[in-house]
Amino acid sequence: MALLKKMRQSMARSWSLYRSDFRSMDKTQIFLLVLLTLLAVFMLLPLVFIFNHAFKPLHELFLFPPTFFVREPTTQNFTDLLHATQDTFLPVTRFIFNSIVVTLLSTVGMVILGALCAYPLAKHPFPGRKIVFGVILLSIMISVETMGIPRYIVVKSLGIMNTYWGHVLPILALPVGVFLLKQFMDQVPDELLEAAKLDGATEWQLLVRMILPIVTPAMATITILSFQTAWSNSETSALFMQDDAMKTLPFYVESLTSNLANTVARQGVAAAASLIIFMPNLIIFLLSQRKVIQTMAHSGIK
């Protein structure tokens, strides 16, 4: 009872503060508030659609005019997803497991390599530093599809076809992560690092104990970008994996409706699989939202 009373009091205070803030707004601020609220609702519509689409029975998926909200929710799509691979003797959990392993290895690798690359670019003025950084930025503009054949030749020559390394190594480079981390590390005062060096700190200690804690918001943002890149990647499965047991969930989802015979029959299964692929991205973002906002709000340390 005491807890409920405190909750009511807290809600009453919050509502009172909200009303007082709302009354103190001028017409321009009220207009912006309404506009941003409508924009937020509009941006939430795709999320609501994904959830509703996954629980629609097959006949609702093809209604005309289409319905936005599900009328008769069912979990049959998820049941069909679990049984969709019976003919291949590979359960869908195998594809999910492969995606989890590849995503974990790739995310950790991209974050570590990004930090190790950004640190010398930001804090060690070696000859050709600007050229190296320019090449990294230039690589952002190169389409991934144009690198398919060179990547295939490299992966095949390394002998890592049909292995987890064949998934991980081709996507380890994340130029956006290097750029973002370098911009944050540039804001760390050189005097702070020099003082630490006088106290006997090594380069590794400077990076791990001083710089990385300062650029934590950027690290969180890069973690999200790395996770999304690895979790949604289906290219490595298509190019480097001939063994079906080594392919990932996104590739499997694409294969569900890849031929005309399955275009209609597998729509419900594809909707359920799409929700499974989407949920980890949403969870990771919600857990790291505060750090991401700090990354966008600040360009360095205070």
* Model confidence band, residue 224 (pLDDT cutoffs 50, 70, 90): confident
- Eight-class DSSP state of 301: -
User: What pLDDT, in 10s, does the model give residues 149-172?
Assistant: 888 898 899 988 989 999 999 888
Whole-angstrom Cα distance, residue 298 to residue 119? 19
Q: Quick one: 251 and 135 in the same domain? A: yes
Question: How many Cβ atoms sit within 10 Å of the Cβ of residue 220?
Answer: 21
Query: What is residue 45's predicted lDDT score, i.e. its pLDDT?
Result: 85
CA dist 119 and 184 (Å) reads 10
Domain range for residue 155?
83-297
Token digits for 28?
Answer: 């321009």
Same domain, 123 and 189: yes
| Domain total of the chain | 2
CATH number for the domain that contains residue 152: 1.10.3720.10
DSSP classification of residue 208: I
- Confidence band (pLDDT; 50, 70, 90) for 242? confident
252-300 pLDDT per residue, tens: 877 776 654 455 667 777 788 888 888 888 888 777 777 666 655 554 4
> What does the alpha-carbon distance between residue 220 and residue 222 come to, in Å, rounded to a whole number?
5
The C-alpha atoms of residue 18 and residue 29 are separated, in whole angstroms, by 14
Higher pLDDT, 80 or 212: 212
pLDDT score for 264: 61
Catalogue the long-range contacts made by 288-296 (C-beta closer than 8 Å, 24 or more residues apart): 288/220, 288/221, 288/223, 288/224, 291/216, 291/217, 291/219, 291/220, 291/221, 292/217, 292/220, 292/221, 292/224, 294/217, 295/180, 295/217, 295/218, 295/220, 295/221
- Asked whether residue 25 falls in the same domain as residue 122, the answer is no
Q: What is the pLDDT of residues 42-92, one digit of tens each?
A: 888 888 888 888 888 877 777 777 777 888 888 888 887 777 666 566 777
142 and 237 fall within a common domain: yes
Q: Is the pLDDT of residue 101 over 90?
A: yes
In a domain? residue 13: no
Cβ distance 230 to 102 under 8 Å? yes
Q: Are residues 136 and 26 in the same domain?
A: no
Do 28 and 144 fall within a single domain?
A: no
Q: Are residues 124 and 175 in the same domain?
A: yes
